[in-house]
């Protein structure tokens, strides 16, 4: 007798508006409860103050990558080779992706775009670098990516040339640091957030292109509660 076909894995869906929007995330799946009840959620509205965050040492270099439109964001997965060090602790760069408009606010101001560079240490702990982009001159690194946007969703494509992630960062790399979460389900906490104090820029024309390809994908800001921003 033939085996019954394997059941497809249960894939839950979320969105940014309507019945599967951010307010509902916490009740869509049991594993996503933190989205609704977590006390250290991201993003947040950052009140700019002089900082006390220890410096980040960047060991970024060009590595091979793939680009994918996963339906929620445009993401570039990078081969091993780049890392950051925070307080003698190393986190490897895994991927980066974009949000429009920005998820983090600074003094109540939302920016047109935010890049998230996601890093993981040996135990799987995450440290994310957030870079806010305002309207202005082109950032070449991003401009080149928009042209490589895959025509099909979920179709991962190889980048022809190695990608240098340092091109996404401002020259001065001081950060706002706080303890937060993933900004998409399951909204897991224990993520060390580092939002660059200096912003980058991207052209209005390119931001318009991104807006046409990607629906708004910014989770609204969450209560800071007892947390302090360094
Ligand atoms: Zn993100």
Reduce the DSSP state of residue 145 to 3 states and report it: helix
For residue 107 the two structure tokens come to 């003094």
DSSP H or E segment with residue 213: helix 204-213
Given a cut of 80, whether residue 191 has pLDDT beyond it is yes
Residue-wise pLDDT for 118-136, tens only, equals 999 999 999 999 999 999 9
Q: What is the pLDDT of residues 157-177, one digit of tens each?
A: 999 999 999 999 999 999 999
State mean pLDDT over 64-83. Answer: 96
Tens-digit pLDDT profile for residues 40-65? 999 999 999 988 899 999 999 999 99
pLDDT of residue 1: 47
DSSP E strands, 27-82: 45-46, 56-59, 65-69, 74-78
Ligand 1 (single-atom ion) residues, CB below 5 Å: 116
Beta strand 83-86 pairing with 89-99: antiparallel
Two structure tokens written together for 212: 């046409």
Measure 5 CA to ligand 1 centroid, in angstroms: 35
- Cβ-count burial 192-223 (b if 16+ within 10 Å, e if not): bbbbbbebbbbeeebbeebeeebeebbbebbe
Tally of residues, the chain: 230
Distance from Cα 71 to the centre of ligand 1, integer Å: 13
Cα(102) to ligand 1 centroid in Å equals 9
- Among residues 13, 59, 72, 119, the one annotated as catalytic is 72
Say how many Å lie between the CA of residue 52 and the centre of ligand 1.
24
Q: How far does residue 3's CA lie from ligand 1's centre (Å)?
A: 40
Residue 72: active-site member: yes
Domains and CATH numbers, the chain: 18-213 (3.10.200.10)
pLDDT confidence of residue 67: 97
pLDDT value at 34 more than 50? yes
Q: What is the pLDDT of residue 11?
A: 59
pTM for the full model?
Answer: 0.94
């Amino acid at each position: 007798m033939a085996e019954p076909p394997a059941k497809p894995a249960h894939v839950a869906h979320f969105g940014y508006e309507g019945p599967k929007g951010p307010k509902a995330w916490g009740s869509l799946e049991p594993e996503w409860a933190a989205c609704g009840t977590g006390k250290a959620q991201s993003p947040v509205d950052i009140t700019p103050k002089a900082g006390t965050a220890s410096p980040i040492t960047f060991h970024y270099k060009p590595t091979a990558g793939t680009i994918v439109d996963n339906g929620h964001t445009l993401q570039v997965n990078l081969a091993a080779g780049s890392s950051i060090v925070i307080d003698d602790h190393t986190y490897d760069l895994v991927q980066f992706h974009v949000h429009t408009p920005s998820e983090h606010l600074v003094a109540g101001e939302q920016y047109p775009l935010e890049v998230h560079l996601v890093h993981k240490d040996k135990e799987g702990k995450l440290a994310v670098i957030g870079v806010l982009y305002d309207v202005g001159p082109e950032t070449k690194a991003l401009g080149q990516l928009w042209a490589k946007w895959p025509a099909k969703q979920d179709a991962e494509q190889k980048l022809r040339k190695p990608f240098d992630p340092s091109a996404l960062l401002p020259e001065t790399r001081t950060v706002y640091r706080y303890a937060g979460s993933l900004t998409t389900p399951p909204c897991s906490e224990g993520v060390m957030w580092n939002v660059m104090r200096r912003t980058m820029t991207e052209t209005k024309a390119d931001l318009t292109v991104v807006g046409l390809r990607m629906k708004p994908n910014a989770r609204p800001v969450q209560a800071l509660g007892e947390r302090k921003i360094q």
